[in-house]
Amino acid sequence: MATKKEKRLNISRQIKFKSALNGFEKLVEHIAAQKKDERAGLFVRKEDVIDYDKFYAAVQELFGPEVKNQDVKCFYRKLCNNPDAPMDWCEIFGYFSSEEDALASQLDEENLIFLVSRKQRVVISGSRRRDVIKCIVKIPQLDLLIAASQKGLITVFNSQMRVHTSTNVTDTSWITGCDYLAQLKRIVATTERTIIVWDYKAQGNSQESYFVIKPMDHCLLCVCVVSLPDHLCRDDILLGDDGGFVNKFTVNSDDFGLKQAKSKKKSQNQILDSKNFKSVKRKLHNDWVMKIRYISALNCFGSCSLDSVHSLVLESLKRLEDNLPVREFSMPRGANTFCYCVKANVIVTGGEDKVLRLWHPNISTKPVGKLVGHMFSITEIVTNEKDQLVISLSSAKVFRVWDIQTLSLLQVFHDSQGGPGDMQIYSMIYDANHGMLITGSSVIDMYPLTRMIQDTKQIPHTHEREINVMLYNKYFHQVLTICSESIIKVWELETGLQIYQILDPHGFNVELTSAAIDESGFLFATGAYNGTVKIWDFGSGQEMKVLPEGKDWKEEEHWLKRLIFLKAQGKQQHLVLALERNGRIKMIQLRSEEKP
């Protein structure tokens, strides 16, 4: 009788366990589909999202309290990092098929968040001896990156990390920070005693000119711009100084545009009196203001300091104009840096005590979590919102990558390159557009996300932007592609290798809208939205002929929709039929010995 009961009990246990496994498989499939949708940029309703807490609760309900929190965390992290990878239910209990598999799961390069072995380095030419990158700012809407060096070189990079433009600030003080004025479309930088406003789009000699606002009451240490879309032709600049003050400067387009128009010498730098600008300031800290940010999602600004009592202040801009109490967060030895995670709704701080603290924005009495592991003071913190990661950097150039949902450590790596003079990393950002961690020291280093590299291995990634034109040259067996960023690329059809590329073929920021290959396959023509036409040698990519823009042409009036090569009577002649968006058809005759 006992054996029969045991058999029945075992059978019922097996049925129950199989049912639990089926439920677990469905749960894993649901999370994998959710992560794929998130990476694809698809909208996922909050009530449908299964975060770690829900996953852990569901696993405990299926398998009971025997499952350990740490094992579930590892399984959940692996699933989130690679939803397509095969999953074994044994791992939820901490078992692997072999020791090698367990070790491989920890050391496999595919499980790393950032692929350090694929690091790229950019050395800025023109920077002075022993100069360092003091500040890096990303402009997501323009896909531009601004880098400001300590000794005055401000450089703007395009999406391909090629220098778009640069200027040298000839100030005796060092640069301490920079940002982008979204409304005025200019770059603002701070030195220890002045504010610099530079029109990076200016041409010719005026490109080297900038406005200098001075004097300042204290030494400026950090800067950020308040991004408010309803403020037309006006930007608010927040400044932190060594006196513990937070200053708000308001700048208008009239302060710079009209003055520059009246100036006879456009290449001469102009000095403006700071007293003529609307400004307010308030002392919020008893020590240096180390970092200042405006958090649009919370409609407030944050500033941190080495002050142990007033370490972090999070408050509305209105509080700068009065003496009402402000939200203060206290931590031992203050805070060097902080950042805000929008999805998780937490503020992460770090400083000299080597501890990362997570705070709810409305609860300043006690942190909701702590992350411990750094052996040296924390200097920078950034977030990857899409993957819910926090990346922290210590003064010893050790990076730690954390999962903000599970509060677990995912990766540790160290920047071991450089001599004693290159020890410090002064700035760090995460570029969400390209999935890249970017740091600034004496050089700019870029660490790509592992999944970005894996994606390029699986599917050839030809352009960063959508492709406007794709043509096949049957004589060369090559493919020509043009993206909306106006980059021409020619590819070998059989191997997929890139032969050459042409950047900004019709000039900077001029979008190409059409192209055609002639019958022989030796030439191709490109047309742009401004009506310009160019003829190129297909084999080498060399420019041969140009039909320039007319003097009285209005913008987009002669937008070229299509180009067609026609047969010409002479060998040295080429006829191109051009269709404009306004309905006109042009016949363009090209001879090798003259311009069109």
pLDDT for residue 180: 95
pLDDT for residue 429: 96
- What span, in angstroms and rounded, lies between the C-alpha atoms of 197 and 195? 7
Cβ proximity of 404 and 389 under 8 Å: yes
Q: Let me know if residue 478 belongs to a domain.
A: yes
- What span, in angstroms and rounded, lies between the C-alpha atoms of 400 and 410? 8
Adjacent-strand bridge partners of 157: 145, 163
Same domain, 64 and 195: no
- 0.85 exceeded by pTM: no
Q: Let me know if residue 385 belongs to a domain.
A: yes
How many domains, the chain?
3
The residue among 278, 357, 364 whose CA lies nearest residue 325 is: 364
Same domain, 236 and 289: yes
Using the 3D structure, point to which of 416, 448, 480 is the last residue of a domain.
448
- What span, in angstroms and rounded, lies between the C-alpha atoms of 481 and 505? 13
Same domain, 501 and 541: yes
pLDDT for residue 41: 58
> Please, what is the Cα angle at 167 between 162 and 172, to 5 degrees?
135
Q: Let me know if residue 500 belongs to a domain.
A: yes
The residue among 351, 325, 349, 326 whose CA lies nearest residue 339 is: 349
- What span, in angstroms and rounded, lies between the C-alpha atoms of 405 and 390? 10
Q: Let me know if residue 50 belongs to a domain.
A: yes
Same domain, 572 and 481: yes
pLDDT for residue 305: 96
The residue among 80, 71, 136, 160 whose CA lies nearest residue 113 is: 80
pLDDT for residue 190: 94
Residue type, 280: V
Same domain, 547 and 437: no
Cβ proximity of 290 and 304 under 8 Å: yes
DSSP string, 387-433: TTEEEEEETTSEEEEEETTTTEEEEEEE---S-GGG----EEEEETT
pLDDT for residue 381: 97
Same domain, 496 and 530: yes
Tokens of 129: 């001896």
pLDDT for residue 265: 47
Using the 3D structure, point to which of 69, 85, 101 is the last residue of a domain.
85
Same domain, 152 and 20: no
The residue among 113, 255, 265 whose CA lies nearest residue 183 is: 255
- What span, in angstroms and rounded, lies between the C-alpha atoms of 69 and 74? 9
pLDDT for residue 236: 93
- Residue 28 belongs to domain spanning: 12-85
Same domain, 405 and 355: yes
β-bridge pairing 245-252 and 234-241: antiparallel
Which CATH number does the domain housing residue 162 bear? 2.130.10.10
pLDDT for residue 596: 42
Same domain, 186 and 238: yes
Q: Let me know if residue 167 belongs to a domain.
A: yes
pLDDT for residue 436: 93
Tokens of 63: 């398998």
Tokens of 579: 């269709």
Kindly tell me the number of DSSP H helices and DSSP E strands found in the chain.
Answer: 6, 40
- 388-393: long-range contacts (C-beta < 8 A, 24 or more apart)? 388/341, 388/343, 388/344, 389/113, 390/339, 390/341, 390/348, 390/356, 391/428, 391/430, 391/437, 392/348, 392/350, 392/356, 393/425, 393/428, 393/439
Using the 3D structure, point to which of 384, 413, 448 is the last residue of a domain.
448
* Residue bearing tokens 């043009």: 482
Render the burial of 528-566: b for 16+ CB within 10 Å, e for the rest.
bbbbbbbbbebeebeeebebebeeeeeeeebbbeebebe
Same domain, 442 and 515: no
* Terminal Cα-to-Cα distance of the chain (whole angstroms): 103
pLDDT for residue 33: 81
Same domain, 248 and 119: yes
Cβ proximity of 105 and 90 under 8 Å: no
Q: At what angle do helices 52-63 and 69-81 cross, to 10 degrees?
A: 120
Same domain, 434 and 293: yes
The residue among 566, 565, 556, 505 whose CA lies nearest residue 530 is: 556
The residue among 314, 318, 310, 311 whose CA lies nearest residue 302 is: 314
* Residue bearing tokens 């870029």: 446
The residue among 590, 592, 563 whose CA lies nearest residue 574 is: 590
Q: Let me know if residue 454 belongs to a domain.
A: no
Tens of pLDDT along the chain (596 residues)?
456 666 677 777 777 777 877 888 888 888 888 777 766 656 556 666 777 778 888 888 887 777 777 677 777 777 776 677 666 667 776 555 443 444 344 444 456 888 888 888 887 765 566 788 999 999 998 899 999 999 889 999 988 888 888 888 887 789 999 999 998 889 999 998 899 999 888 766 555 678 899 888 899 999 999 977 777 788 999 999 999 999 999 998 877 764 444 444 444 578 888 888 999 999 999 999 999 999 999 999 999 999 999 999 999 999 999 989 999 999 999 999 999 999 999 999 999 999 999 999 999 999 999 999 999 999 999 999 988 999 999 998 999 999 998 888 889 998 766 544 455 899 999 999 889 999 998 889 999 988 776 554 444 567 777 888 999 988 888 899 998 888 899 888 777 777 888 888 888 778 888 999 988 888 899 998 888 889 888 887 888 888 877 666 776 677 888 999 887 666 557 788 888 888 888 888 766 544 44
In this structure, the number of other CB atoms found within 10 A of the CB of residue 457 comes to 8
Tokens of 119: 């690091």
Q: Let me know if residue 568 belongs to a domain.
A: yes
